[in-house]
Structures are given as C-alpha cells and as structure tokens.
Amino acid sequence: MYDAPTLSSAVLALYNPRSDRWGRALWSELEPAGPDIRAAFLNAHFHFDHGCRQASEILAERGLTAFISMTLVDFQTGVGSIEVTVSTAQEDFRFGMEVRSNRFGAIMFAAANPYRLADAVEAEIEAREERADANIA
C-alpha cells in the first residue's frame, strides 16, 4: 500500500499550475503509473472518492441507490477522460465521461463535483432504462 499523502506530495511537486496549466509534466508521471498510484494522487488532491460518496448521497435523495467510483483513464490538453463505475441493485456498469476546462486542476475538480457526477450517473441510468424498455417493446 502507498502512503497517499507522501506519494501525492511528490507527484504534486511536478505540477505547477502557473507554468504547466495543462498538467503535461504531471500526466507524464501519472500515465505510466499503476492505477493505485493514480487513485492515491486523485483522492488526496482532487477528492475523487469523496465526490463519489457525495454523488451517491445526492442520488439517494432522488430515490436512486448507487455506489459510484471513478478512474482517470486519459488526459489530453484540456480534456480528461474519466471512467465511471456504477453499482445499483439491478446491475453494475461503466460509462465514459469527458471533462473539459482550461486547466488540469479545474478538470479534476469538475470531474469530482458531486452534483455534476450525480447528474451524469442519473442520466446514464435513465438512458439504460429507456434502451431496455425499447428492447422489450
């Protein structure tokens, strides 16, 4: 297991929003790293796990029960590709989500925004239900 705060501090030192607003140096280190290292960094600095828990709570208030997790799959200048994993009582599924902004940090914080995430998950659940209903009819 990795010490997330130490690991994250070392990786964050590579990212200077003033001189590297797109996070190219940071991503060059994160991309080849294992998913556990990426997850430790994203959770320590951008609170991906916290955003997922809050999104689940928001969905519960809307009458939907879902467990959510996110993984940063890819990052290109101005676009973060996120894989969202959702577990409901009926099914487990994944879907991709793209987040765009003018800075790496803004993209990561936007991805972990619980309201945005809850809306995306709810829309995906509804789309899957509509497709299932269309296949039955």
pLDDT in tens, 63-114: 999 999 998 888 777 788 899 999 988 889 999 999 988 788 888 888 899 9
- What sign for the dihedral angle of Cα 48, 50, 53, 59? negative
Number of domains in the chain: 1
Instruction: Give the torsion through C-alpha atoms of 121, 125, 130, 131, to 10 deg.
Output: 100
Residue entry with tokens 């497709």: 131
Q: What is the pTM of this model?
A: 0.79
Residue-range definition of the domain harbouring residue 38: 4-136
